[in-house]
Copies of this chain bind each other. A is one copy, B any other.
Amino acid sequence: MQVSVLRLGHRLVRDTRMTSHVALVSRAFGCQKIYMSYLDNSIIKTINDVNTRWGGNDEFEIVCVSEWKPLIQSWKKSGGIIVHLTMYGINVNDMLPQINIKKKILIIVGASKVPSEIYSLADYNVALGHQPHSEVSALAVFLDRLFDGRELTRTFKDAKIRIIPSQEGKKVKFE
């Protein structure tokens, strides 16, 4: 499955940590790319460090785009679909079965206010419930549902460190 994320509305400093977590979720939960329209070096550094240590340099990357609209338009032109995560959308429990997962998917995750145009550009406006929570949780739950839990057992290439799952405490293996 080809899935990427577009992070919209990132505000420097204020959103750095949240967007880092959005990027880490994108990586850990099976996406190939996260597109960002703001260049935030500390997030690029976080992802590069994680890729180096935990693997996946060729499997996940941050891509900076100067404008989001051409990305969405070219994504749709090439046969991909757009999923916008918003608490105002249709509940994921009802919407997910309608999404054609054979197409490549671009998931839009907003920080502050999202331009209203996004609602009409999106093929699916999907709500992870209709209560306020977090873009980090919304993205994670959506991806977990989309990949049916399989993303949580994936391994990354060229990892320097791997966890040995344990009930007793921290066990790691250095490669």
Residues of A within 8 A of B (CB): 17-18, 21, 24-25, 27-29, 50, 54, 87-93, 116, 119-120, 124-125, 127-134, 136-141, 144-145, 149, 151-154, 156, 162-163, 165-172
Beyond A87-B163, A90-B167, whether A129 also contacts B153 by CB under 8 A is yes
Interface centre among A131, A139, A140, A165 (most CB of B within 10 A): A131
Chain B residue nearest to A156 (CB atoms) is B131
Which of B134, B165, B168 is in CB contact (< 8 Å) with A119? Answer: B168
Report yes or no: B163 in contact with A25, Cβ–Cβ below 8 A: no
A152 touches B116 (CB 8 A): no
List residues of chain B with CB within 8 A of the CB of A92: 149, 152
User: How many whole Å from A45's CB to the nearest CB in chain B?
Assistant: 14
- When the two chains form their complex, are residues B129 and A88 in contact, meaning their CB atoms are under 8 A apart? no
